């Protein structure tokens, strides 16, 4: 069974838990899943095992606290400690997938917004000049920012399992950090001085490149089952 099949089974089986056990189990699930770089397969296998155990114990009238102890976080830590690290044969294609998809979105937005501005509002120009040196640097900086963003969001979700803050406050925080993130993306491209040899091509071509990259990421995902 692939980790994605196990996740699907977990989603189904979780419905068998009563309210109290479900709340406890879901705390563990979030905490253990956000383990940072541990094998996804091993993580999902142990999560399903814990769920199966809890379901059977529940039938005998036992509670999650009796089985895993008072503190779901403490127990989760003991589990995470023993999960093996993700191997590079799994990690590298996944990172490549995220990078390709990210470039696809940037390219697509650039192409559509850029040519839209020109054709409808006569802003900018129908062609874009790309400086290879600075263009490459911008992409690298943006990928690094994306990495920081993902790391931050994962930490943030993990923290939110400890305290249960107001839903609106959570939304506002996430919204704010996303705005800062997108703003920094744009600022990097805007303020970066151009260097390296220049090539000029129609702005709309970015949309074509974006679609091509998106198709590549789609096929990667389908073939390697990265997210489904």
Other C-beta atoms closer than 10 Å to the C-beta of 123 total 10
69 contacts other proteins (rule: CB under 8 A): yes
- Which part of the chain contacts other proteins (CB under 8 A), choosing from 61-69, 97-105, 145-153, 180-188? 61-69
Nearer to other proteins by C-beta: 59 or 122? Answer: 59
Residues 83-122, interacting with other proteins (CB under 8 A): 83-84
Residues 180-209, interacting with other proteins (CB under 8 A): none
172 contacts other proteins (rule: CB under 8 A): no
Residue 130, classed as helix, strand or coil, is strand
34 contacts other proteins (rule: CB under 8 A): no
Q: What is the DSSP letter of 80?
A: H
36 contacts other proteins (rule: CB under 8 A): no
> Nearest distance from residue 160's CB to other proteins, in Å?
24
79 contacts other proteins (rule: CB under 8 A): yes
Contact residues for 35 (Cβ-Cβ < 8 A; gap 6+): 43, 80, 83
Contact 95, 51 (CB under 8 A): no
Q: How far is CA 172 from CA 17, 108, 115, 167, 181, in A?
A: 32, 27, 32, 9, 14
DSSP H or E segment with residue 161: none
Contact 206, 111 (CB under 8 A): yes
57 contacts other proteins (rule: CB under 8 A): yes
Among 66, 71, 162, 198, binds other proteins (CB under 8 A): 66
Contact 6, 44 (CB under 8 A): yes
d(CA 150, CA 29): 19
Q: Tell me, by CB under 8 A, how many residues bind other proteins.
A: 24
Residues 37-56, interacting with other proteins (CB under 8 A): 42, 45-46, 48-50, 52-53, 56
Among 11, 15, 37, 81, binds other proteins (CB under 8 A): 81
Q: How far is CA 49 from CA 23, 45, 143, in A?
A: 17, 6, 36
Chain positions contacting other proteins, by CB under 8 A: 1, 9, 13, 42, 45-46, 48-50, 52-53, 56-57, 66-69, 75, 78-79, 81-84
């Amino acid at each position: 069974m692939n980790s994605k099949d196990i996740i699907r089974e977990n989603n189904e089986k979780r419905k068998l838990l009563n309210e109290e056990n479900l709340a406890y189990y879901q705390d563990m699930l979030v905490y253990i899943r956000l383990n940072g770089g541990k094998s996804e397969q091993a993580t999902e296998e142990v999560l399903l095992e814990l769920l199966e155990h809890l379901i059977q114990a529940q039938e005998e009238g036992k509670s999650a606290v009796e089985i895993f102890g008072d503190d779901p976080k403490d127990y989760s830590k003991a589990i995470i400690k023993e999960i093996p690290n993700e191997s590079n044969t799994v990690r590298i294609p996944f990172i490549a997938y995220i990078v390709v998809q990210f470039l696809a979105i940037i390219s697509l937005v650039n192409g559509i917004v850029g040519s839209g501005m020109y054709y409808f509002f006569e802003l900018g120009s129908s062609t874009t000049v790309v400086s290879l040196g600075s263009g490459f640097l911008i992409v690298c900086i943006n990928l690094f920012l994306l990495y920081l963003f993902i790391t931050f969001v994962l930490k943030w979700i993990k923290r939110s399992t400890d305290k249960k803050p107001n839903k609106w406050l959570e939304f506002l925080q996430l919204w704010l950090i996303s705005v800062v993130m997108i703003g920094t993306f744009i600022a990097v491209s805007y303020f970066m001085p151009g260097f390296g040899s220049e090539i000029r091509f129609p702005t709309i071509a970015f949309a074509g490149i974006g679609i091509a990259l998106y198709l590549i990421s789609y096929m990667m995902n389908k073939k390697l089952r990265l997210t489904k």
